[in-house]
Structure 1
Amino acid sequence: MTASVLSSRFISGSWIVTDPLVLLAPAKLNLFLHITGRRNDGYHQLQTIFQLLDYGDTLTFRARADGQLNLSSNLTGVNYSDNLIVRAARALQAAAQASGNSRRLGADIQLDKVLPMGGGIGGGSSDAATTLVALNQLWQLNIDKPSLMSLGLSLGADVPVFINACSAWAEGVGEQLTALDLPPKWFTVVQPDCHVSTATVFSHKDLTRDTRPIKVAAFSQGGTRNDCEPLVRKLYPEVDNALIWLKKFNDNARMTGTGACVFAPFNSEGEARAVLAQAPDNLPGFVAKGVSRSALFEHLPE
């Protein structure tokens, strides 16, 4: 999905883009997740491959010249001030003010939410990243991509990969990114009926934290895994049952992130959809194609 044709008009002494900008905030999968250590600040060092998908939430942005931020969505249970979209927009407002921009930058934002919360597929982080990129364009701030990624990191470790808009090899806490062109695959993704707490998983005494680092080339040789998966399967039987079911169709099925979603790769859309069609009623899901670049790429600043 791409933006509509943009136009602008002169408002209160500034040119403001006024036509709506409609963007896809894509999901991601962790094709593997190794935890290689723990930093003094409590954050975990990791290695992973982020696979972006052609499926996600849809956000619509319209610029305002009065400084107000209005968010409407079909998402319930999240306070306005806690929503990552609002936090991202406020962070961008603050960055603009800190750089000497005196305009009253605002926006009307509409969220069509389809990605599950607490699923390990990056829905909130992707929404935040899309907000930063979209408002940087609408407000004509011309903040460069590295600066946007740094701002995104302050909102969450997964935000930078969505701003970068490329599937990637990641290290550090997930912010050290090397873009990858991955073989085309279709993925069946299902959501167990539980909400996995990332904080609970990363603070648990039984979490593996000493996996030996590998090189990028080693991924294609196999032997990778998700270090969070054994613990989550023990703590959340719903995840365990989902993986048992999905592995009947593909033994390479695994959990993404800290869960709860699990996925399996297939060579064709037909294979992936045939599996999803057999999912039990308590395992809703979707089929998506892996992409090396998301549609957000074309809206990134130079």
Structure 2
Amino acid sequence: MTATITLPSPAKLNLFLHIVGRRPDGYHELQTLFQFLDYGDDITLSLNPEQSDIRLESPISGVADEDNLIIRAARALAKKTSGDLPGVTIGITKRLPMGGGLGGGSSNAATTLLGLNHLWQLGLGLDELAEIGLTLGADVPVFVRGHAAFGEGIGEKLTPASPPEDWFLVLKPACSINTGKIFSEQGLTRDTPRIRIAPAFEGDASRCRNDCEDVVRRLYPEVNESMEWLAEFGPARLTGTGACIFGRFPTESAARIIWESKPSGITGFVAKGVNVSPLHQKLTELE
């Protein structure tokens, strides 16, 4: 008998991203506002009681299992129990681009953690799962906790937030950006003054921005061109370290009108901002 569930692995946007300092270990201190989108990958988890291994249904080309966040998440969770666990085969329907700043890998890891916690009936709480997630990446905890949040530290100190659930046009220029490269650039702003949570919702563009944007636009002309085009229709912003950029719209139809006029060679999608993760909505339905 095989138990199988398919769960969403949603994208996130950094509605703003401020770099407020640098720690002795080299990591950057951030302030950011995370919001989920009702769009992303799907993860299918199938238990195999006759086996004990953790494997991908289709290995990802060029990515060893030891480097794959999905496999690493499953193995880290398995270490939390001393009992014998059934094996699992993990399938992924990939929609989110790699190197896009949408948190695809972190989201995949979080969906794996929560999904296997459910299937394996481990009963771990969100605090324990978020702690495991942080060992995999700074963005994993927000996906584990599943609520829009004001993030501080390296992004792991989270305060639940409720930004407007608007519609977004997300564009992916034809380039992939390495986060480490951006954070190591000498020209990166690293001293933005800290803000309280409240100003994050006041819409003051001069106070809330993405501090990585200037460096990314200088290094990646494709991003710069896409931002210039999208800015013709309203404020355009980078998410994370890119390469994806987004514009906010009050309705789906308004976003789709702009989407239909996008330049050739640019991919992307229209999605709704949501403050409760689609993953958590689905898991609630399964309870």
TM-score tier by shorter-chain length is over 0.9
Deviation at 1:72?
2.2
Paired position in structure 2 for 1:139: 120
The counterpart of 2:23, out of the listed 39, 59, 64, is 39
User: Are 2:70 and 1:79 equivalent residues in the alignment?
Assistant: no
Distance 2:237 2:275 in 1: 20
Contact kept, 8 Å, 2:43 with 2:92, in 1: the verdict is yes
Where 2:232 maps in the other structure, the secondary structure is: coil
The counterpart of 2:209, out of the listed 225, 236, 248, is 225
Distance 2:154 2:113 in 1: 20
Structure 2, gaps ≥5 residues long:
none
Distance 2:22 2:114 in 1: 31
The counterpart of 1:257, out of the listed 212, 223, 240, is 240
Q: Any residues of structure 2 matched to 1:191-210 within 5 Å, and which?
A: 191-210=172-191
Give the structure-1-normalised TM-score.
0.89
User: What's the RMSD between the two structures over aligned residues?
Assistant: 1.7
Deviation digits for residues 122-176 of structure 1, max 9, x if unmatched? 0000000000000011111111110100100000000000001111111111111
> How many residues are paired up?
281
Contact kept, 8 Å, 1:93 with 1:105, in 2: the verdict is no
Distance 2:163 2:59 in 1: 33
User: Are 2:75 and 1:90 equivalent residues in the alignment?
Assistant: yes
Structure 1, gaps ≥5 residues long:
1-8, 10-17
Q: What letter corresponds to residue 96 of structure 2 in structure 1?
A: L
Deviation at 1:184?
2.0
Paired position in structure 2 for 1:280: 263
Q: Any residues of structure 2 matched to 1:2-21 within 5 Å, and which?
A: 18-21=2-5
Distance 1:245 1:35 in 2: 26
Deviation at 1:242?
0.7
Distance 1:116 1:153 in 2: 22
Q: What letter corresponds to residue 286 of structure 1 in structure 2?
A: F
Distance 1:241 1:147 in 2: 43
Deviation at 1:74?
8.3
Deviation at 1:245?
0.7
Deviation digits for residues 184-215 of structure 1, max 9, x if unmatched? 20000000111111000111111111110001
Q: Any residues of structure 2 matched to 1:288-299 within 5 Å, and which?
A: 288-298=271-281, 299=283
The counterpart of 1:188, out of the listed 166, 169, 172, is 169
Same amino acid, percent of matched pairs: 51
Distance 2:165 2:36 in 1: 11
Contact kept, 8 Å, 2:130 with 2:144, in 1: the verdict is yes
Paired position in structure 2 for 1:157: 138
Give the structure-2-normalised TM-score.
0.94
Paired position in structure 1 for 2:226: 242
Distance 1:143 1:40 in 2: 33
